[in-house]
Amino acid sequence: MKCPVCGDDCVSDAFEIINTMETIFAPCPRCRGRRLDKKVPPPDYTPPSPCTCKKRFIDDIFAHIYRIGVEEGEVVGTEPLKEIGTPLIHPGMVLSEAPYLPPRSLVLLTDLFSQKTAERIVAEIPEVRGVVQDTHITPGIVSPDTMETPKTHILLAGCDVRANIFNTQVGPIVIYKQTSTMHIEFPRPVNPKILAVDRKVFTKKPKTFVDACCGPGTLGIVAARLGVPHIIFNDAWYAAAFWTAYNLKVNHAYLGIDDVEIRESYQAMAENPVRREPYLIATTRGGLAVEVYQGDYSLLTPHIPEKGVLTVIDLFDKASRDMVEEVITRWKADNKGDVFIP
Ligand SMILES: [Zn+2]
Ligand SMILES: [Zn+2]
């Protein structure tokens, strides 16, 4: 599939990704990874080139990045290896062992490097897919009170689109997003939000599932995977609405979707980064009915059916119990059906 960020074919169908998940990060018999202590600088050795199977152990790749940083004068040489940055592997999944990475399977989130060094890292290290400048904020979170355009990280070089694989009770789903524009999640062996959706869908058997603050679409896609025939997605942030629509395409075979119509390009949507009045950005054809809106979830009421509705409101910051109760009370005043916060 064509990548909306780099235009290359760096995005795969969910079926293809799920089929490779058992072996993608496993070493071949000839792979020789060197485990390094991340709390100290790397030892004085020349990190090896990738194995003939094209994979390389993650610590050797980090040592290679470190070396480029030293050569460019952006790493002094006394920093511990782990200070190079946070490795975000593609596809992200629950791992029991440190990975041997194939080409273009690592996005590096870092605050150490200039654009020039980032470009050199992408050019010289085949496993690196992209380098993202960590601005130490949570990207893409729109406050429902202010509706201000949220802050993001900055893509320095390469492409920062990557996927996570999440398990549901009926099989895995694949969720892509752009690292710099969306908040980072790590797949865990047990995902309480996905379990909460499973439990509610199983007991309430809704006809329509509303994912009111959908992010990249994870919870609504879980509901679709569990067999709910109609899903309404919404998020005020353009990147969230776009990646939701895109992820419906990625997972189409698992969801009974024939076709997803996305009405605007990612770049065109970026012109209106935050919308208040819900704006329809995508629909589907096939066995699953979907509408994806970009807007303020409190204005969704005219788009929601009267009967058989289950709504999830996944607030990023559910700081206080009072706030949660207020959100539920306000939703119930305007909309029919059951609602929960996962
Ligand atoms: Zn790309
Ligand atoms: Zn190998």
Closest ligand relative to 102 C-alpha: 2
Rounded alpha-carbon distances, angstroms, from residue 152 to 105, 164, 239, 250, 333: 22, 19, 11, 24, 34
Query: Which tokens go with 81?
Result: 């290896």
Arithmetic mean of pLDDT over the chain: 95
The Å distance, Cα 29 to ligand 2 centre, comes to 6
Single pTM value for the model:
0.96
Q: How many Å lie between the centroid of ligand 2 and the Cα of residue 10?
A: 22
Predicted confidence at residue 318, as pLDDT, reads 62
- DSSP H/E element including 243: helix 238-250
Distance from residue 126's CA to the centre of ligand 2 (Å): 14
Check whether the bond before 91 is cis (ω within 30° of 0): yes
Predicted local distance difference test score (pLDDT) of residue 319: 64
pLDDT at 324: 85
Q: From ligand 2's centre to the CA of 93, what distance in Å?
A: 20
Tell me: the pLDDT tens digits for 315-331? 876 667 778 888 999 99
pLDDT digits 0-9 by tens, 190-224 = 999 999 999 999 999 999 999 999 999 999 999 99
Considering every ligand atom shown, identify the ligand nearest to the alpha carbon of residue 31 and give its number: 2
Q: Residue 247's closest CA among 186, 187, 174?
A: 174
* Domain residue limits, the chain: 14-158, 190-340
What is residue 66's three-state secondary structure?
Answer: helix
Closest ligand to 23 CA? 2
Specify the CATH class of 190-340 in words: alpha beta
State the distance from the centre of ligand 2 to the C-alpha of 31, rounded, in angstroms.
4
Confidence of residue 295 (pLDDT cuts 50, 70, 90): very high
Spacing, Cα 142 to ligand 1 middle (Å):
25
- pLDDT tens digits for range 132-149: 999 999 998 888 778 899
Ligand showing the shortest atom-to-Cα distance for residue 130: 1
What SS3 state is found at 266?
helix
Ion ligand 1: residue ranges with CB closer than 5 A: 3, 5-6, 10, 159, 161
**pLDDT at residue 43 in the model:** 94
